[in-house]
Amino acid sequence: MSKMSLARTTFSSQPFLVLSKAVYPGHVQSCNRKVLTNIFKRRIKEEEPKPMAEIEPERAPVKFSNYTENNLKKRTSIQTRRAYLPPEDVEGKVHRIVKEVYGKTADVQNIDLDEDRRKKFTVLTKMMKEFDHFIPNTELHDMKTIDQAVNFFLTEVRDTTCLEDLTKLDLPKNLHINTEYLRYDRENNPLWPGKDAFPGQQTRACSAKFARKYNVVDKSKDKYIFNLNRKTFFEEQTELAEIIKKEIYRK
């Protein structure tokens, strides 16, 4: 009997399934895979399809609470923003754009932007091109009326931080704010050349803004120059005390 016929006879009976795998494992594994796929296909065909209402029940629209909205706005406000100064007659320009899309007879105050998303996209896109001011996603989700769009384009946006605004004020003589930081570099320092208070510790600028401004000081070779594994004064004193105790016990 050949190996192929022996594998087929052993595969037909369940008690000899282990023996068939030992005789001709590749053929039996392929047969097992075919049998299992046929069984699953029959079960899928026999089952009746469920209606879509049972599979995907109707769900109420997700509404963010004030807590989550404020958290999202705080997290997204870290990114750099373009400065925006609102021009004159913002409300008149917005109403003109709305009437171009919704028609001249449309009631601007009672328009719901969420009823027709295509018109909402068209109106807000024209507003952004008109004022050269882009609407972030956090504001776009909550913008449902024309009044909210008018208030958004009336709000001034600054590209400076509070610290930079303080430096522009007329400060007293005894108060000084330095925004141009001086970074210590032991290689280019004429007073203490090669000296470092923190050897072996990498000085990296994690921010993408300051990584271009301040160079990274490589201290990977400090372990060969400095003895970074040296013991502290307390450890040296404890070792000395243990040595003295051993000498006393010997005597």
| pLDDT digit string, tens, across residues 108-162 | 888 888 888 899 999 999 999 999 998 988 888 888 999 999 999 999 888 777 8
Residue 86 has pLDDT above 50, yes or no: yes
Q: Give yes or no for a contact between 155 and 86, defined as CB atoms under 8 angstroms apart.
A: yes
Residue 15: band (very low, low, confident or very high) from pLDDT cuts 50, 70, 90? very low
Residue 212 has pLDDT above 50, yes or no: yes
Quote the mean pLDDT of the chain.
72
pLDDT digits (tens, 9 = 90+) for 56-79: 455 555 555 554 555 555 554 455
Report how many helices (DSSP H) and strands (DSSP E) the chain contains, helices first. 13, 0
Give the CATH class of 86-154. mainly alpha
22-41 as b/e: b if 16+ CB within 10 A: ebbeebbeeeeeeeeeeeee
Distances (CA, A) of 9 to 14, 37, 74: 10, 21, 71
The more confident residue out of 9 and 131 is 131
Task: Give the pLDDT score at 97.
Answer: 92
93 vs 14: which has the higher pLDDT: 93
Q: What is the pTM for the complete model shown?
A: 0.45
Tokens 């009044």 sit on residue:
147
